[in-house]
Every structure is written in C-alpha cells, then in structure tokens.
Structure 1
C-alpha cells in the first residue's frame, strides 16, 4: 500500500456530523477530548488555508446542529454545509461528494461522529474513488469500544490511514520554524498535547 505525506497544498479537511447531539454518543474516548481535537484540526485548517467541507445529518432531530465552534471558525463552510436528510453514508449523497471533489484536493483528512456509522463508510468509499484518506481517530468516536475497534480495523483494511490530531498537525506543518509552523505548534502545546511542567 502506497503512503502519501499529507501537505497543505493538496489536503482538505472533511468533518462529518460533529453535531451537539451526536457528540454525546461518543463513549470510547472522552467527548470533551474529541471536541477539543476537532476544533484544533479546524484551527490548523485555517492556518494552512485548507478547504473545509462540513456535513450534518437531520439537524432538526436529536442530532442537533453542528458544534458552534465550527460555525465561528468557518462561517462560509458552515453556510454551505451539506445537510443530509437521512443518508447514512455521506459519500453517497451527491451534494457531499460534489463538495469534496470541488476542493480539488486528493488528500482528505477526515473525522466523523460516530466512527462506526458516520466515518467508516465515506472514508472507505473515498479511498475506493482514488482519494488518499487519513481518519483522525481522536476527533471521532463511537458509543462502544467494540464497534470502534471493528470500524478501525475495517477502515485500515480498506486502505484508510488511521491517525491522531497531533500526528496530523505535525505532518501538515513539516517545519515548526515557518510562520505557519509557529502558529501550529502554539495550538499543539495549548490545545492538543498534555501540559508540560
């Protein structure tokens, strides 16, 4: 399996169903951690000017709206978010797939809530369609350890690269001494990594 280093020039951030209700289903990791990592990824996307695609499912139901930080960071992407009426696999929603393809990027940094329903299918299908996909596991989560474990295995077996927020940030940054790298490492130490000292 070929591996591709994700760099800002050819990477888009895809956030799937980070909704206030759906987030409460995360039980395999701390939900506040998952939210913090999602917001950190969004901030990194802003620093490196990555295209961002947001999608939600049935906002008028228990799932609720996307977490407010995404609207604050990306008002334009929020307005253009793909509001799915009930399609489980976002990749099979023509509007979502069109939005992802419109980024013009081949590397997709993806996170979704829940991993075992909302992330697994579009990440696998995007790989089948020729995209390089990294799934950010600490910005995603499942209701059960078992479903999370099986989903991770299935995604990895299908060619999705599993990663974590700090790894993804470092991969995009490549050099902390650049102006953008300085901003990125600030987010790493204040929002992502455990406190030093």
Structure 2
C-alpha cells in the first residue's frame, strides 16, 4: 500500500490563536517549545509557498496579540489574519471557513495554541467536511497534561493524524536534495535542541 503523504502542492497550514496571552495559559508544554514549533510551521509554509491561514480571537483582551514573529515571517498572511470576535471553533467563523476553502487544498496541517480548545473543534469540523487533517500536537498544548492527552485522543479517534512539527516538516521535504528539502533544512535545524 503506497504512502499517502501530504505534499506542499496539496496542503495548507492553519495556525489558530498563537497569541501571547493564551500561550501563557498552557501548562502541558513550554511557551518556548510551542512558539518554536508554530513559527517553524509558518516558515515552512512561506518557504514552500503553501497557503497559510492565521486567525486570532479577542486580541484586545487577555488573549493578547499574535506572536510578533508571525508578522515578520508572513506579513501578508498576518495582515489578512481572521480576527474572530470570540467564536471558539474557528471553522464556525464564516470568514475563517471561507479562507480555508479559498486555499483549494484538501489536506490541512492544523496547529492551535490550545489543543483542548483552539485545535480540537476546527479539526473535528474539518474532518466532518471531508478534509484530511494532520494535527501538530507540539505546536500547542493544554491547561494540563491530562486535558492535552484527552484532546489528542479525541481528534485521533475522529480521524486526524497526530504529528509533530519536525515530523510534518520532514514529510513535506521527503528528500533533502529536493527543492522542498533544501528549503526546509534550515527550518528543521532551528528545532534541534542546543
């Protein structure tokens, strides 16, 4: 049976609510690790010219602004981010759902800052709508390790593929000598612990 891997040509990246305030609520992962993994996904999307959809919720409240580095990595996508007015499931926001549909990609890489809130509901909705989804578990976390484990299990049971930032980047590269591989080598290198 041949592998049915995601490729840069058939995949979009969705980053949901990587806001400095919300990131501070996570206890199952460190702020630094979540940030590094989310930024790596944004860099990969930009380097491989993959559609990148950013969204935030209530930036003017405790959730705070999106990571400032996202503006440097993907300025157009940052400026065009969908600013939700509190809708928990990003896919329930008509503007976000339209942005996802406009990518014309059937494969979605989804990373939300909180796996048990920001990631789980859009993932379940996307699966229900027929998308193939890989959830980047280490680009987010939850308020407890148990909450994170339960959220990941729920998404996997619904049909999502669980992955890590490093794993999905190497899947997109497939061959380090390819143009995609060469573009991703430095991004993967940034994830290596020092």
Give the shorter-chain TM-score range: over 0.9
Q: Distance in 1 between matches of 2:171 and 2:184?
A: 11
Name 1:111's counterpart in structure 2: 111
Alignment root-mean-square deviation, CA: 1.3
Q: Distance in 1 between matches of 2:172 and 2:180?
A: 10
User: Contact (CA 8 Å) 2:34, 2:113: kept in 1 or not?
Assistant: no
Secondary structure of the residue aligned to 1:64 is coil
Q: Which runs of 4+ in 1 moved over 6 A?
A: none
Would you say 1:55 and 2:44 are equivalent positions?
no
Q: Distance in 1 between matches of 2:4 and 2:97?
A: 22
Structure 2 gaps of 5+ residues are none
Q: Distance in 2 between matches of 1:194 and 1:142?
A: 22
Name 1:193's counterpart in structure 2: 192
What are the residue-to-residue correspondences of 1:32-47 with 2, within 5 Å? 32-47=32-47
User: Contact (CA 8 Å) 2:48, 2:183: kept in 1 or not?
Assistant: no
How much has 1:41 moved relative to structure 2? 1.0
Would you say 1:179 and 2:186 are equivalent positions?
no
Q: Distance in 1 between matches of 2:97 and 2:49?
A: 20
Would you say 1:14 and 2:18 are equivalent positions?
no
Structure 1 gaps of 5+ residues are none
How much has 1:60 moved relative to structure 2? 0.7
How much has 1:183 moved relative to structure 2? 2.6
TM-score, normalised on structure 1?
Answer: 0.94
